[in-house]
């Protein structure tokens, strides 16, 4: 177990300075605001994802809440990665992230970009739920509009 594999500089940076942190208050004309809450009762992580949809496309996204470094950095990286993508592309990206997090020695898919920094999580099975919380929450916002999801 190599801690440096888990806590890479990219992860520590996004934990300390999360991108797109906050909330989206009102929809721009033509946009549809969606919001969902995610909760991991085991460790108390809790976050809210707000998405502004332009038709099928994520025009803007924010997250807020409190969590461990893995869940915060994963949420931050996710917001950067999904902006501008349509729902199908977001879903495909989540699949890739999930494979990365759960498969030992998976070679990061080049399509993952910066998200590849999460590859160390696969060595720490207890932390997979931290990394997927934001993605499940985004999914809930995209699929059902508003909901609370739990990773337990």
Contact positions vs other proteins (CB under 8 A): 1, 3-4, 6-7, 12, 16, 42-46, 66-70, 124, 126-127, 130
Six token digits for residue 139: 């999914």
44 or 145: whose CB is closer to other proteins? 44
Nearest approach in angstroms of CB 7 to other proteins is 5
Angle at 81 between CA 16 and CA 96, to 5 degrees: 110
Nearer to other proteins, 76 or 142 (CB): 76
The CA–CA distances, whole Å, from 76 to 2, 16, 30, 61, 106 equal 23, 10, 26, 10, 22
Q: Rg (Cα) of the chain, in Å, rounded? A: 14
Nearest to other proteins of 24, 132 (CB atom): 132
For 80, how many CA atoms within 13 A lie in the half-sphere containing its CB?
Answer: 14
User: Would you say 21 or 124 has its CB closer to other proteins?
Assistant: 124
Beta strand extents in 12-144 (DSSP E only): 32-40, 45-54, 57-66
- What's the closest the beta carbon of residue 152 comes to other proteins, in angstroms? 11
In whole angstroms, the minimum distance from the beta carbon of 33 to other proteins comes to 27
The pairing of strands 57-66 and 45-54 is antiparallel
**Pair of tokens at residue 82:** 């999904």
**Shortest Å distance, C-beta 65 to other proteins:** 10
If the CB atoms of residues 28 and 42 are measured against other proteins, the closer one turns out to be 42
Q: How do strand 148-150 and strand 32-40 relate by DSSP bridges?
A: parallel
Cβ 123 to other proteins shortest distance, Å: 10
């Amino acid at each position: 177990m190599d801690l440096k594999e888990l806590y890479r500089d990219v992860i520590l940076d996004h934990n300390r300075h999360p991108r797109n942190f906050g909330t989206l208050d009102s929809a721009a004309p033509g946009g549809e605001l969606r919001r969902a809450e995610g909760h991991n009762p085991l460790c108390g992580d809790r976050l809210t994802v707000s998405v502004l949809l332009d038709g099928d496309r994520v025009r803007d996204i924010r997250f807020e809440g409190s969590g461990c470094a893995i869940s915060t950095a994963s949420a931050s990286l996710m917001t950067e990665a999904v902006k501008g993508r349509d729902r199908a592309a977001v879903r495909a990206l989540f699949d890739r992230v999930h494979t990365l997090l759960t498969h030992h020695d998976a070679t990061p898919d080049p399509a993952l970009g910066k998200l590849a920094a999460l590859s160390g999580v696969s060595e720490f099975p207890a932390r997979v739920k931290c990394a997927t919380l934001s993605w499940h929450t985004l999914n809930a916002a995209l699929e059902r509009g508003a909901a609370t999801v739990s990773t337990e």
